[in-house]
Structure 1
């Protein structure tokens, strides 16, 4: 296993890490490893293509045709 040294960490942040470690019943070093593991092993966000492909089929294109109700829709001119 590799070692990781983190320099110039704010004292308040270190204190928060120690408090969190105590609350979880482990050392600050073990808490640090757990935080890193959770952050880096979290599921990656879906791409736009994946999100679009997950949208269910909501009907035929004809269901969404524009109805000409006489109101101007061109806001640019």
Structure 2
């Protein structure tokens, strides 16, 4: 297993991590690993570019102009 050192975590963030960890019965380290795992391995993650390219073509701007 790999090891990672994260420096510069401010106190409010650390309190949030400790609070979440306590809520779920985990250590702060386990909570951070869970958060990272949920985000990094999230199924169906698409980049912003991929999301834009997946949008359907719904017409031209002029198709949506208000008719007087």
TM-score where L is the length of structure 2: 0.67
CA distance in 2, matches of 1:51, 1:45: 12
Q: CA RMSD in A?
A: 2.6
CA radius of gyration, larger in = 1
Consecutive unaligned residues of structure 1, counting only runs of 5 or more, are 53-77
Which structure would you say has the larger RCO, counting Cα contacts within 8 Å and 6 or more residues apart? 2
Which is helix-richer, 1 or 2? 2
TM-score where L is the length of structure 1: 0.60
CA distance in 2, matches of 1:29, 1:17: 9
Aligned residues: 57
Consecutive unaligned residues of structure 2, counting only runs of 5 or more, are 57-68
